[in-house]
Amino acid sequence: MEGTKETNACTFEGTVKSFDTAKGYGFITQSDLSVNRDVNQGQGEGLRNLVAGDRVRYEVTQGAIAPQATNVRKL
């Protein structure tokens, strides 16, 4: 299709285990991936208000130290 960009990214669903809104950092339970607000800039207000128990959809990318959740969206 013209004007679209295809990616090979896989998306996953999980539950927020914890998220510190002051620090902008937390974890998603399915694989204990870190989720960081700074890495997910531009994702809207949803990441500012993540709380334990929120259902999310995300992609996995390699971070500086370990895999991390990116393109995080609340479900």
pLDDT, tens digit (0-9, with 9 covering 90-100), for 12-67: 888 898 998 888 888 887 667 788 877 666 555 556 778 888 888 888 888 888 88
CB 60 within 8 A of CB 33: yes
| Nearest Cα to Cα of residue 68 among 28, 19, 20 | 28
pTM over cut 0.85: no
Q: How many whole angstroms separate alpha carbon 8 and alpha carbon 10?
A: 7
Q: Which domains does the chain have, with CATH numbers?
A: 11-74 (2.40.50.140)
